[in-house]
């Protein structure tokens, strides 16, 4: 048996035992630890096969044998001649350099050709403005790594990348796209020169219009990416950050320290409940960023196992959660203030439908923003809307 066939057997063992209860990369760590005979090259090939399997989404999920599905995923994801395909599927290896759309048109199973809904069976739930074909096909393209350059360090970062032999693409004055897997931390030692932040996430900042001395609240701050974007636009903002998870706020403290952000207030708040009196002042914030909990469906290109195991009923669960949080947040907004509602979801029920509910039940008006499609540049798909009180 060749090592390529051994790789397929190992990948098949992974996908038949993995149940999606934790991220795939966390599952792979103990799997490889239990198989110390596998070197770094072996682990890389086997991981690649497993991820390619999940990038197929629901395409012939319970019909095609696992081994065949592994090879199909590899064919659709690869862009150059591949040794496994050359051995086991030479006819596919000859076509591996074709665009994804052409490769999809060249495959079939039981007389059926793949459709976008076969890959992503929730296309009817997508937000307006999303191209279902491009969105589904993007699953077979590895998303890119994006950094947001700080402190006008574009020239210095460009020089460091050139010295390291790394090629990047400037998509904006402060937005740089790199191939996924670029070890940016070893190239740029000054961590306060940049933030790792997806291109679509960076674009949400276009809706932030802070002024010196204003009070802003990042209500579901997580590790603080949107807050850092806000503070880089206007460092004289009076910032409050909160999250229900105390542990993730520790990550925020570390990021803020590295970025040199010192003047801010933190709160641990469960926003599924009304904000307790005297915790924060009602009607006191000029701007509120609500990066709401969501399905994360716009980011599944980075974690395709989530698509494979996703149950559609969860969309409504998050829809109701988002409405409840928004209703508890809006009373803290000043008259004339702005609420920036953000999700990393591609589903209209989490996006437009929630904004419509907010406007109908709180009197806010939707002034700007909408879906941010990142699939054409190797980025996430997100939603961001600016609502005024």
> Which burial class, exposed, middle or buried, applies to 323 when counting CB atoms under 10 A from its CB (0-12, 13-18, 19+)?
middle
Q: Are 347 and 122 in contact (CB under 8 A)?
A: yes
Candidates 317, 320, 319, 367; CA nearest to 339 is 367
118 annotated to a ligand binding site = no
Secondary structure class of 116 (helix, strand, coil): helix
281 annotated to a ligand binding site = no
Residue 344 is a catalytic residue = yes
Q: At what angle do helices 313-329 and 352-362 cross, to 10 degrees?
A: 30
Residue 146 CA to residue 356 CA, distance in Å, equals 31
Task: Determine the number of helices (DSSP H) and then strands (DSSP E) in the chain.
Answer: 17, 11
243 annotated to a ligand binding site = yes
Of 77, 220, 294, 344, which is the active-site residue? Answer: 344
Residue 220 CA to residue 268 CA, distance in Å, equals 10
Residue 344 CA to residue 199 CA, distance in Å, equals 12
**Encoding tokens for residue 190?**
């000054």
Q: Which helix (H) or strand (E) holds 242?
A: strand 238-243
Residue 388 CA to residue 229 CA, distance in Å, equals 20
Count CB-CB contacts under 10 A for residue 249.
Answer: 20
Q: Where do the H-state alpha helices sit in 34-164?
A: 40-55, 66-77, 83-88, 90-93, 100-105, 116-119, 132-137, 154-163
**Encoding tokens for residue 213?**
């001395």
Residue set of the binding site for S-adenosyl-L-methionine: 243, 270, 291
Indicate which residues carry an active-site annotation: 344
């Amino acid at each position: 048996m060749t090592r390529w066939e051994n790789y397929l057997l190992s990948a098949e063992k992974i996908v038949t035992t993995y149940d999606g209860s934790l991220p795939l990369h966390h599952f792979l760590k103990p799997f490889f630890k239990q198989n110390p005979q596998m070197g770094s090259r072996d682990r890389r090939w086997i991981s690649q096969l497993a991820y390619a399997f999940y990038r197929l989404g629901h395409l012939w999920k319970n019909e095609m044998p696992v081994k065949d599905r592994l090879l199909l995923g590899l064919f659709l994801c690869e862009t150059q001649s591949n040794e496994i395909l050359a051995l086991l599927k030479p006819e596919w290896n000859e076509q591996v350099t074709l665009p994804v759309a052409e490769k999809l048109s060249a495959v079939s199973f039981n007389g059926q050709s793949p459709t976008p809904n076969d890959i992503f069976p929730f296309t009817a739930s997508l937000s307006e403005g999303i191209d279902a074909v491009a969105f589904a096909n993007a699953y077979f393209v590895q998303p890119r790594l994006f950094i947001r350059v700080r402190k006008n360090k574009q020239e210095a970062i460009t020089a460091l990348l050139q010295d390291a032999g790394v090629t990047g693409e400037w998509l904006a004055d402060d937005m740089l796209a790199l191939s996924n897997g670029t070890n940016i931390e070893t190239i740029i030692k000054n961590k306060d020169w940049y933030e790792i932040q997806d291109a679509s996430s960076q674009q949400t900042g276009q809706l932030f219009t802070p002024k010196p001395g204003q009070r802003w609240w990042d209500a579901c701050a997580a590790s603080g990416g949107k807050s850092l974007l806000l503070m880089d636009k206007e460092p004289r903002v009076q910032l409050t950050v909160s999250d229900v998870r105390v542990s993730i706020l520790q990550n925020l403290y570390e990021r803020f320290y590295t970025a040199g952000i010192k003047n801010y207030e933190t709160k641990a708040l469960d926003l599924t409940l009304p904000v307790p009196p005297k915790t924060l002042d009602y009607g006191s914030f000029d701007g509120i960023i609500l990066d709401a909990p969501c399905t994360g469906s716009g980011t599944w290109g980075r974690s395709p196992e989530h698509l494979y195991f996703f149950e559609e009923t969860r969309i409504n669960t998050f829809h109701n959660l988002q409405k409840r949080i928004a209703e508890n947040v809006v009373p803290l907004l000043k008259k004339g203030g702005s609420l920036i509602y953000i999700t990393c979801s591609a589903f209209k029920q989490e996006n437009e439908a929630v904004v419509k509910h907010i406007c109908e039940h709180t009197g806010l008006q939707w002034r700007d923003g909408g879906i941010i499609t990142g699939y054409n540049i190797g980025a996430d798909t997100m939603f961001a809307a600016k609502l005024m009180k």
